Amino acid sequence: MDFSKLPVLIVLASVAVAWAQTVTAQNQEVGNRACAGCHAEIYRKYSATGMARSSGRIGDGSFRESFEQATFSDPGSGADYRVTATSEGHLLEFSKSSSGVQGQRLLEWFLGSGSLGRSYVFSLDGFLFQSPVSYYSADAKWGVSPGYERKQTVDLTRTVETACLQCHASRLQPIAGTQNRFGSVPFLQGGVSCERCHGPGKNHVARMTARSKTEPGEIVNPAKLDSARRDSVCAQCHLTGAARVATARSKSQTYRPGDLLSSYLAVFVWSNAGSSELTATSHYEKLRQSACKKASGDRLWCGSCHDPHDQPSVASRVEYFRNRCLACHESLACKGPQEARRKVENDCVGCHMPNRQTRAVEHVAFTDHSIPRRQASPSAPIANRSLVSFWNTEADLRDLALAYAVVAPTEPGVRPQALALLQKAETRAPEDVAVLAQLAQFHDKMGQEDKALALYQRILRIDPAHVAAATNLGIYYMKRGRPQEAISLWRNVLTRNPGFTSARMNLAVALYHSGEMGAAESTIRKALEYDPDLDLARKLLAEIQATRR
């Protein structure tokens, strides 16, 4: 390999749809324990649910993984993995006999209650990354994480971004200006906190403690909200759609229970999506397709069948859910098999809400919330579909443009429309970074480099922390013979995510071309710390060492 001919790598910008809670909202949050004294029964029941236990430090809670099947080989990456329990956390060891690569990471945090499985998080220099290895409860064994099945290397550089923790943890402690750096404790409340559904509780606790008021006040009871605000509470985390887009308003204000989620998060679905495929978080979309929901309207919601504070036990679940059905249906309404109609103790959901295997998601089965008469066979994907707002409201042009841009990589048919909408959105809001970043990417793909370059420069004037814009702009500077500017951009990017391999390798190449051999060498060493299975880096390191000798 000839280092001096090595081109810089191309990294594509992507829209961040994360809508992190602002610090002001969080200052008003007090955590679950503060509610326990007065709402002891709810606190006790809720603490046992999957939602309450959906994240934490390894060792917290009662769930324990089995380590009997904790050693395995992954054919994709050619790596052998082993996980062992230690007092600090779970130790993940990896090795590849083919290349001699080996190393370890300490998994300190988990995501997922373990009812289906668990994913893990480790930190390097305060930055959080996803573990390539997860635990699957059904088989009590360890395996590569969802999304890592086709990896050809040991990938240790997938960031844990705010969006991922936003659904699984509460009172997050992200460090501004970085992609994946968090406080030494990344979240102050494991799982979904009381306050994610009830709003910040500081004032409620203070008033109730002082008994200055007999009315509860200043705490949200979702059941007392209008239907759109009530449904917003669960939709925060249980509605994915085809595209989720953080609205312009979400930059300055944060959703709180009691608000309309649609003001902060625009969710789009395919208008003629007749496909019966499920995604892990699609309960909302499915429920809306059900005859029950269509006929009952706002009366039917998640809370009609689920007690948000409690999960029915395995022994009582058939009866528990049947009673939910019978709140609206007489058992005689079932036109199904004779025995189904005769028996009152029958399992309505066993026939009408079966578990189905989802596509590649968490390797497990989910319950069909479209409540069909009979199980349908999956239908083929449909051509010529279009995106519409899930909320039955007029879609904002800017949000729709971003939604099309989000799906464009996998839906070539919508690309012209995405571009046209983005251009319109840009004339209306020339300072909208999310729009500019997508537009730049389109120009890049069409080979209009000057336009893309100008857009990236504009983005960085508005938001100097924009990682994708800085990375891509660096590439243009290199191509135009401005390595010093590229170097400073990439150095900056790496303070925001030091595990960003493409930026790190680009930096090494640029330093090499500028004759800064020592700096190039240490940059590659750093790349290998974060990303040990990086063949290219090892080869370059050898070459650089040979040159310097």
Length of the chain, please?
549
Collect all residues with Cβ–Cβ distance below 8 Å to 36 and sequence separation of at least 6.
43
Per CB under 6 A, the segment of 26-34, 73-81, 91-99, 475-483 that binds ligand HEC is: 26-34
The binder of ligand HEC chosen from 20, 245, 371, 528 (CB under 6 A):
371
Collect all residues with Cβ–Cβ distance below 8 Å to 153 and sequence separation of at least 6.
77, 533, 534, 535
Interaction with ligand HEC in 162-191: which residues (CB under 6 A)?
Answer: 163-164, 167-168
Number of residues near ligand HEC (by CB under 6 A): 100
Are 49 and 192 contacting, i.e. CB atoms less than 8 angstroms apart?
no
**How far is the first Cα of the chain from the last one, in angstroms, to the nearest whole number?**
18
Interaction with ligand HEC in 89-128: which residues (CB under 6 A)?
Answer: 111-119
3 state SS of 219: coil
Interaction with ligand HEC in 451-480: which residues (CB under 6 A)?
Answer: none
Please give the radius of gyration of the chain, using alpha carbons only, rounded to the nearest integer: 26
Q: Which is nearer to ligand HEC, 73 or 355 (CB)?
A: 355
The binder of ligand HEC chosen from 38, 185, 360, 446 (CB under 6 A):
38
Collect all residues with Cβ–Cβ distance below 8 Å to 450 and sequence separation of at least 6.
none
Q: Kindly state the tokens that stand for 279.
A: 């995604």
- Let me know if 461 is exposed, middle or buried by CB neighbors in 10 A (0-12, 13-18, 19+): exposed
Interaction with ligand HEC in 296-325: which residues (CB under 6 A)?
Answer: 296, 299-300, 302-306, 308-309, 311, 317, 321-322, 324-325
Q: Kindly state the tokens that stand for 502.
A: 């493409």
Q: Which is nearer to ligand HEC, 242 or 459 (CB)?
A: 242
> What are residue 110's DSSP bridge partners?
56, 120
Sign, CA dihedral 194-200-206-212, equals negative
Kindly report the number of other CB atoms within 10 A of residue 419's CB atom: 20
| Residue 150 contacts ligand HEC per CB under 6 A | no
Compute the least distance from the CB of residue 330 to ligand HEC, in Å: 8
In whole angstroms, give the CA distance from residue 305 to residue 324.
6
**CA of residue 229 relative to chain centroid, distance:** 23
In whole angstroms, give the CA distance from residue 128 to residue 84.
20
Per CB under 6 A, the segment of 172-180, 216-224, 418-426, 539-547 that binds ligand HEC is: 216-224
> What are residue 107's DSSP bridge partners?
90
Interaction with ligand HEC in 190-209: which residues (CB under 6 A)?
Answer: 192, 194-198, 201, 204-205, 208-209
For ligand HEC, what does the binding mask look like between residues 250 and 289, x meaning CB under 6 A? Answer: ------------------------------xx-xx--x--
Compute the least distance from the CB of residue 416 to ligand HEC, in Å: 29
Interaction with ligand HEC in 70-89: which residues (CB under 6 A)?
Answer: none
The binder of ligand HEC chosen from 172, 188, 237, 260 (CB under 6 A):
237
Compute the least distance from the CB of residue 503 to ligand HEC, in Å: 21
- Give start and end residues of each alpha helix (H) in 344-414: 348-352, 397-407
Interaction with ligand HEC in 122-141: which residues (CB under 6 A)?
Answer: 130
Per CB under 6 A, the segment of 47-55, 89-97, 441-449, 515-523 that binds ligand HEC is: 47-55
| Residue 17 contacts ligand HEC per CB under 6 A | no
Q: Which is nearer to ligand HEC, 188 or 280 (CB)?
A: 280
- Let me know if 418 is exposed, middle or buried by CB neighbors in 10 A (0-12, 13-18, 19+): buried
Per CB under 6 A, the segment of 370-378, 398-406, 427-435, 463-471 that binds ligand HEC is: 370-378
Sign, CA dihedral 432-438-442-444, equals positive
Q: Which is nearer to ligand HEC, 238 or 443 (CB)?
A: 238
Q: Kindly state the tokens that stand for 497.
A: 């995510």
The binder of ligand HEC chosen from 21, 77, 123, 346 (CB under 6 A):
346
Compute the least distance from the CB of residue 46 to ligand HEC, in Å: 4
Q: Where are the beta strands (DSSP E) in 35-96?
A: 55-57, 71-74, 79-85, 90-95
| Residue 502 contacts ligand HEC per CB under 6 A | no
Compute the least distance from the CB of residue 459 to ligand HEC, in Å: 24
| Residue 245 contacts ligand HEC per CB under 6 A | no
